[in-house]
Amino acid sequence: EVQLVESGGGLVKPGGSLRLSCAASGFTFSRYTMNWVRQAPGKGLEWVSSISISTSYIYYADSVKGRFTVSRDDAKNSLFLQMNSLRAEDAGVYYCVRDLLGIGDSWGQGTLVTVSS
């Protein structure tokens, strides 16, 4: 069974940093592109970042480019999102999503990020 478990969310002040992690199990992690998708409170889904197999390509939404960095550790079956210079509008639930040819076929339960002074 595919499992994706996010961690690392919490309360951070504007301008602060946070590192999210996603622990994957139940599938061969190294063979999949992985995504981060977020959802602000009461709002819709927003794609944040994608990292391909072997980190061959990485993409970011314009809203986070230059502030967020996605990475992966295939040896540890883990996905990461380093978030710097956080803003109030970055608050929300961050989902780790397995990518099957561009499609989000498995989602984690999410981790909540709160940005407030």
Residues that bind other proteins (CB under 8 A): 35, 37, 44-47, 50, 59, 61-62, 95, 101-105, 107-110
Nearer to other proteins, 66 or 102 (CB): 102
- 46 pairs with which residues across the strands? 38
Q: Which residues contact 34 (CB under 8 A, 6 or more apart)?
A: 22, 24, 50, 51, 72, 79, 96, 97, 98, 99
- The residue among 46 and 74 lying less far from other proteins, judged by its C-beta, is 46
Residue 80 or 108 having the CB closest to other proteins: 108
Least distance between other proteins and beta carbon 4 (Å)? 10
- Least distance to other proteins, CB of residue 12, Å: 23
Q: Where are the beta strands (DSSP E) in the chain?
A: 3-7, 10-12, 18-25, 33-39, 45-51, 58-60, 68-73, 78-83, 92-100, 103-107, 111-115
Q: In angstroms, what is the minimal distance from the CB of 13 to other proteins? A: 28
12 versus 92: smaller Cβ distance to other proteins: 92
